[in-house]
Structure 1
Amino acid sequence: MSKEELARDHILAMPDKVQAIARLVKQAPPGEFSEVFNDLRALVADDAMMCEEAANLCAIHNKDHFTPVKTEKCEVLLTRHNELEENCFLDPQNRVSFKYDHLKKVLSDFQDRPEEDKKGELWRRALHEALKAYISNHYPQGLCSVFIKDTAVRKIFVACIESHQYKPSAFWNGLWKSEWTFAWAPASTSTEVSGTITVQAHYFEDGNMHLTVVKDVEETLLVSDEIRTAQDFVKLVEKAENEMQNGLMEEYQRMNGTYLKSFRRQLPVTHTRLDWGKAVTARVLVARASQ
């Protein structure tokens, strides 16, 4: 079999290629979408397909990582919970919706949104203010958003927290995010809170080390008036996140030293570094030969 025939046999159909790219981009560390996308663009050597998929892939990345948006008109996290329609998001605190260009990071088409549920909004704002005070004390660059979803018999509140430090010049990026959900009905005296805390870090100076830690939380929250319930909810969040932080620090202390150094990847048996530039060039030449 010739090289050209071998290359053709390994070419993926367009839908399969798009799915493969999407899976790889989904693994992009926080704050590194552009770098991962551009690397894949060089490897795939199909600019038309990559440009067509860029906006959708970037949108998924932004929503997965609770990307913060801060302007004079709004201050909110981009999530699947406040996406009204494709690329259109709601800032419930400032009662405004807007369109967001994920690639250009540009906001447009601001629209005022009237308050639809005064009772539910009273609870949502109480939760937001209590959580915002917690964020200001624990996350210098953090942001939180609280969303409400109404059903026939109850209201569902979703609280999202995001804080990141991106330091590519120092060869590391890190993200802390958490998502909390509970339901409330007028006659309820307690509710179950479900939370997920996620920590991601990427260190890439003379190496490539990824850290991803996910912790699920299930707790019972007593329900009284909106102010007291909001305060108790924040105490629950603070307790769970402190336990997460302390656990990470204890694990780091155990790993520090010779054990941590063992994670460094050794050179291959040739004891020479792989020339990635040549590898990419060879891949592009094979792709062109198959066209």
Structure 2
Amino acid sequence: MPSNSEALASFVESAPPGELSNVTNAIKTIAGDSSLQSLGPALERYNEEQFTTVTLPGSSQPVVVSSYNSLGDGRYFDVESQSSFAFDHNTQKASAVQSYALESKNADLIKSILKSLSTHSNEHYPSSSLGVYPIENDGAIAILLVANKYSPNNFWNGRWRSQYTFSSGQLTGSIHVDVHYYEDGNVRLLTDKPVSASLSSSASASEIVRQIASIERKYQEDLNKAFGSLSEGAFKGLRRQLPITRQKIEWEKISGYRLGQDIGGGRAR
């Protein structure tokens, strides 16, 4: 049976996107302020695994926090801004910014991928942050992209995370989608899609990013098809024959309904 600290840590590590502060506040209310003292490792794992973003003092561009750009002792580096910073995993705030020069045999390729990836993310994601970092043990390169979309006033939050490793012509990684909808209920979508592709060992930054774009476009199309199937099958089976509006749902027009409002009879906004 897990201990209290393990149980609290599991709550932290399973927090939906954009809702970590809600979880920690609930923990403090139930278990007291001192309970957070034991949650440091869980908060660090959460922030690194979720690619938490933070805006550095004096900057307007969010940077990524992950295990790939960790310098240890709570410090991280950012290639684009050529800086390192301290990060508080509890408050999710950055401080003590210093200049940082990337030293890697792949430095030129890393900076080129970062530039090409920025173009890709700006074209396809409304609010995104990215990072490209060396993995010096085997000469590989880590490529990260995270896009957050929060709408707490409408009771939903979502996050797209994709991470890739490029090494010797092989691109491997995974795509994670996490969406939480909590108006008059609690629905959460969690996906984990492993991906891989083969390129030339001397592939350019633009070739690598084109492959990433192709992978992500295909996955988005697959998700759209899956949602269409859910609308016609599983969602229909979950609903009562007559909702509280006492009117039958026209399932062929399901894409025109607003979940939780038209179907559930919720208040209009």
Q: Given the two structures, how large is their TM-score scaled by the length of structure 1? A: 0.75
Q: Offset at 1:88?
A: 0.7
Q: Is the 8 A contact 2:24 2:36 kept in 1?
A: no
In the alignment, is residue 157 of structure 1 matched against residue 141 of structure 2? yes
Q: Which amino acid aligns with 1:67?
A: T
Q: Offset at 1:196?
A: 0.3
SS of corresponding position for 1:66 = coil
Deviation per CA, 1:62-116: give whole Å up to 9, x if none.
2121112234457421001111113211112222111012333332212222342
Residue number among 58, 66, 69 corresponding to 2:51 in the alignment = 66
Poorly superposed stretches of 4+, deviation over 6 Å: none
Q: Offset at 1:37?
A: 2.3
What value does the CA root-mean-square deviation take over the aligned residues? 2.2
Task: Give distance in 2, aligned partners of 1:216 and 1:31.
Answer: 24
In the alignment, is residue 57 of structure 1 matched against residue 35 of structure 2? no
Equivalent position of 1:220 in the other structure: 198
Task: Give distance in 1, aligned partners of 2:15 and 2:163.
Answer: 20
> Map of 1:1-291 to 2, 5 A cutoff?
16-43=3-30, 45-48=31-34, 50-71=35-56, 72-73=58-59, 75-117=62-104, 119-151=105-137, 154-184=138-168, 191-224=169-202, 229-256=204-231, 259-263=234-238
Q: Is the 8 A contact 1:207 1:264 kept in 2?
A: no
Q: Is the 8 A contact 1:22 1:57 kept in 2?
A: yes
Task: Give distance in 2, aligned partners of 1:163 and 1:64.
Answer: 14
Structure ID, larger Rg: 1
SS of corresponding position for 1:206 = coil
Q: Is the 8 A contact 2:9 2:39 kept in 1?
A: no
Equivalent position of 1:286 in the other structure: none
Question: Identity over the aligned pairs, expressed in percent?
Answer: 28
Considering fraction of residues, name the structure with more helix.
1
Task: Give distance in 2, aligned partners of 1:243 and 1:219.
Answer: 13
Q: How many residues are matched?
A: 238
Equivalent position of 1:271 in the other structure: none
Q: Which amino acid aligns with 1:94?
A: S
Deviation per CA, 1:159-194: give whole Å up to 9, x if none.
00000111111000000010000224xxxxxx2111
Which runs of 5 or more residues in structure 1 are unaligned? 1-11, 185-190, 266-291
Task: Give distance in 2, aligned partners of 1:146 and 1:105.
Answer: 21
Could you tell which deviates more after superposition, 160-169 or 89-98?
A: 89-98
Task: Give distance in 2, aligned partners of 1:216 and 1:99.
Answer: 32
Q: Which amino acid aligns with 2:83?
A: V
Q: Given the two structures, how large is their TM-score scaled by the length of structure 2? A: 0.81
Task: Give distance in 2, aligned partners of 1:96 and 1:70.
Answer: 12
